[in-house]
Amino acid sequence: VVGWLRERHPEEYEVLVRRTRLTADEEAAWREAGHLMYVPFDEQAQVHLQDDDFLEREVWDFAGTPPDKYPLLLHFHPLEIYRHQVIKQADVVLATFLLGWNFTHEEKRRIFEYYDPLTTGDSSLSACIQSVMAAELGLMSKACEYFADAVLVDLVDLAGNVRDGLHIASAGGVWVALVYGFGGLRDHWGDLHFQPVIPDGWTRLSFRVRRRNAVIEVDIADDAVTYRLLDGPPTVIYHWDQPVQLEAGSAESRPHPSREDVPRLAPDELEAPPEMFIA
């Protein structure tokens, strides 16, 4: 982040240095620590690992675990759980969302297909992320299923614990599933990219996003997407990686691409973001 700020916004970088007394040695130490971090990857399975020994464990006996034994942590000792391939929420799958530029479409698919059956969803924070990545991968049935889980966690008390309070983070996750999942919003590249995939049976999805001084309305119908700049300076956004120039008060509509024409960009085909992206 600091290196990106120094190169792209030197005046802001100087302000940061004065306020925090940042030194070149500190910056170098941070960069070195980042380069030394170990990210386990299994060449045979071609997936990034939940932890270094994850594939060496037995898969949890899901078929032999009745519904009343979930969440697992309330019924089994942690040492028993952690000796198995089982996770309570999407972790590596979350990384493919937050750090999406580091993964090809095929890598994201392999990671999702490997970890999804091992995820119990015991955490209410999981369903929204699983919905986002299922939508990106074109698994619309799963995307809708996980979206419903996130929406209904309190409305129908899916976890049986709404008496203890609402799942506020999951409520925010519903918005994430709508906007980043079905709305296809990504901001990895420093600009707003949209790849909307509205589910069958839905007639419309509309939302607004603010980026810096621009307020943009996105209106997704089953045949096209309309983008409007409601406030702010002229702005360029991207519809399926095609630039769209927005002027204040005007609207630009674009059709949905056919499934055969959907672009799937590999990381080396993208403009590389800074080491740590700043929105």
Q: Are residues 170 and 192 in the same domain?
A: no
- Give, for all 279 residues of the chain, the pLDDT tens digit: 888 889 989 999 999 999 999 999 999 999 999 899 998 999 999 999 999 999 999 999 999 999 999 999 999 999 999 999 999 999 999 999 999 988 999 999 999 999 999 999 999 999 999 999 999 999 999 999 999 999 999 898 887 888 888 989 999 999 999 999 999 999 877 789 999 999 999 999 999 999 889 999 999 999 999 999 999 999 999 999 999 999 998 899 999 987 655 554 444 443 433 333 332
Q: DSSP string covering 8-32, please? A: H-HHHHHHHHHHHT--HHHHHHHHH
Q: Indicate if 116 and 203 belong to the same structural domain.
A: no
In a domain, 224, yes or no: yes
Please tell me the total count of domains within the chain: 3
In a shared domain, residues 154 and 20? no
CATH number, domain of 132, equals: 1.50.10.10
Q: 165 in a domain, yes or no?
A: yes
Residue 277 lies in a domain: no
Query: Are residues 249 and 135 part of one domain?
Result: no
Structural contact between residues 230 and 208, judged by C-beta atoms closer than 8 angstroms: yes
* 8 A C-beta contact, residue 111 and residue 92: yes
pTM, two decimal places: 0.85
pLDDT for residue 277:
31
Query: What per-residue confidence (pLDDT) applies to 261?
Result: 54
Token representation of residue 259:
């499934």
Residue 77 confidence (pLDDT): 97
Is residue 88 domain-shared with residue 174, that is, in the same domain? yes
Angle at 181 between CA 52 and CA 131, to 5 degrees: 55
Do 95 and 162 lie in one domain? The reply is yes
DSSP H helix total and E strand total for the chain: 9, 12
The tokens for 261 are 């024409």
The whole-angstrom separation of Cα 150 and Cα 177 is 9
- Domain of residue 6, residue span: 1-37
Co-location of 145 and 259 in the same domain: no
Domain assignment of residue 279, yes or no: no
Beta strands in 3-157 (DSSP E): 41-42, 47-48, 58-59, 84-85
Tokens of 156: 């129908």
* Whole-number pLDDT of residue 190: 76
Do residues 74 and 134 both lie within one domain? yes
